[in-house]
Chains A and B, each alone.
Chain A
């Protein structure tokens, strides 16, 4: 089968990307002009302390040997200790990564859910008011600065209307008096596993505003891309043929034109997912969301190299996985993709 061969080929390529990034991360650590041993030894270290740290970190071993150690540790999920906090990085990631993934998945889903149907509608009513209104909305949602939209949403929905929580992942009452037992770190999943509908609803409400903020840009881009792809597809002869066969216009739009027009939107959605993983620092700060973006930006300022490396690796794997999913989705939507 073409499609299975295609998926296998994509997976091998993905593995190469991960190995390549591992190598790059390691090399960058070698050229950064700061002494890891000095950082590791703590503030105002003596020469002996630095020398001790150097031995502890095995910094005197030859480069290939150190890369091997680094790569095997990464593969085993052993990211080492933060120079700064001395905490196990893997423990930190267990808290931050699910929060970030939850937000990224939801905002990506929202972008698809809003952007694609609006693009289809605009294309179907090209040049008339639904198109003009939708296109204006798309430009606004792309042009609006993230932090401004975040604060605007907070002002309207949390401050004025009071129907959405201002920030955080879950209400204090639930977190303190009846916390959800942590199993996966994904609050929505955990509250379902523990069968806590109250906690589920609360966590979902906390997700809405930050997810909406993050979805704004990709939804606008997806809308524009879907619109232009649909306009092109609707001119094709097979659409005229479907009309001549008397198919209802809704089925022609969503069943016969949209599958051909999904490609560009899927691609931009994949990119926006990657962006949401670490690029969402401002959103995380404004909504007090305990995500990877804040974690890694603090690590960068502190030159906390093991943390930076760990986050880079984790984000790479997430991104590669997402791309793989999108490639497979593209091939399922359009079987000709698997032939290239």
Chain B
């Protein structure tokens, strides 16, 4: 195995993102450490507002205007993301957006929306782009790609839309994909199919995936490793089985305890205590 394959693809130490607002600075991300090996599906789990989406956005160089990014180390495959994020976006780093119904443009055909990505990132003649678009749609398990290509988003089901969004991300040719809540908008059985699809694509195409989610089931189903985020800080990281079976951090335990299955039938559901305004709450940190 060549040396480069053993170094992590993504290496983040002490990442912080500070967004200035008229009411003062918002510390969306305070101190995140993240290390993702090649070929891994790495879960990033936390509540809404824990900074997981902003962490992903920082990797794409798409933080709100005026935001300050601080980090000890913020490297992707040896390149510093603080300078290179804009150049790597779409070339090496792709994105699978949450809520595919909103992520696709309602007035453009699927053909346009995939072709625009191919046109931007691949130097192919028209006919070859069309063939590639069909191949990508087929690779995401969509039946009748020809028909999907002619369709508009409102003519597709949620699961089909999510597959189109995945095809778009593949069309960039990127080898690292950030999947932001790829299954929240889908019902459970479709969500499981989409996760299985992602696992298969990762294996077939040598991809690496950062899976951003608030759903422990998604982590358990699809991820190899997981990092737990709380109030903008990474509080625990490790292989999925280890973290799920022997959570070291109190917040992770609280998160697992809040799953409906963890509570006896008929009892009240557990609540995760604490708030982000108080980074050291009782019962969590």
Contact = CB atoms under 8 A, between A and B. Distances in A.
Nearest to A239: B105
Interface string B191-222: 00000000000000000000000000000000
A245 B168 contact: yes
A260 B106 contact: yes
A238 B103 contact: yes
A87 interface: no
Contacts of B97: 237, 240-241, 244
A306 B60 CA distance: 69
Interface in B124-173: 152, 154, 165, 168-169, 171-172
B106 A245 contact: no
Contact of B107 (A242, A251, A259, A339): A259
A251 B95 CA distance: 18
Given A244-B89, A247-B90, A237 B107 contact: no
A246 interface: yes
A50 B259 CA distance: 96
A255 interface: yes
Interface of B is mostly: mixed
B95 A244 contact: yes
A11 B94 CA distance: 46
Given A240-B97, A259-B108, A335-B152, A246 B120 contact: yes
A260 B107 CA distance: 6
Interface string B30-62: 000000000000000000000000000000101
Contacts of A335: 107, 152, 154
B120 A248 contact: yes
A240 B152 CA distance: 19
B107 A246 contact: no
B116 A251 contact: yes
Given A251-B120, A260-B105, A246 B90 contact: yes
Interface residues of A, number: 22
A196 interface: no
Given A237-B99, A247-B90, A247-B120, A242 B105 contact: yes
Interface in A251-295: 251, 255-256, 259-260
B91 interface: yes
Give the size range of B's interface with the partner.
Answer: 20 to 34
B102 A236 contact: yes
Interface in A321-340: 333-336, 339
B117 interface: yes
B28 interface: no
Nearest to A261: B107
B105 A243 contact: no
B68 interface: no
A247 B168 CA distance: 11
B104 interface: yes
Contact of A334 (B99, B106, B117): B106
Contact of B89 (A241, A246, A251, A333): A246
A263 to B, nearest CB: 10
A21 B121 CA distance: 55
Contacts of B103: 237-238, 241
Contacts of B117: 245-247
A246 B95 CA distance: 9
Contacts of A244: 60, 62, 89-90, 94-95, 97, 178
A247 B119 CA distance: 9
Contact of A238 (B60, B62, B89, B102): B102
A334 B154 CA distance: 11
18 contacts: A240-B62, A241-B97, A242-B105, A244-B62, A244-B89, A245-B120, A245-B168, A246-B90, A246-B121, A246-B172, A247-B90, A247-B120, A255-B112, A259-B107, A260-B105, A335-B152, A336-B152, A336-B154
User: Would you list the 3 A-B pairs with minimal beta carbon distance, nearest first?
Assistant: A246-B90, A244-B95, A237-B102
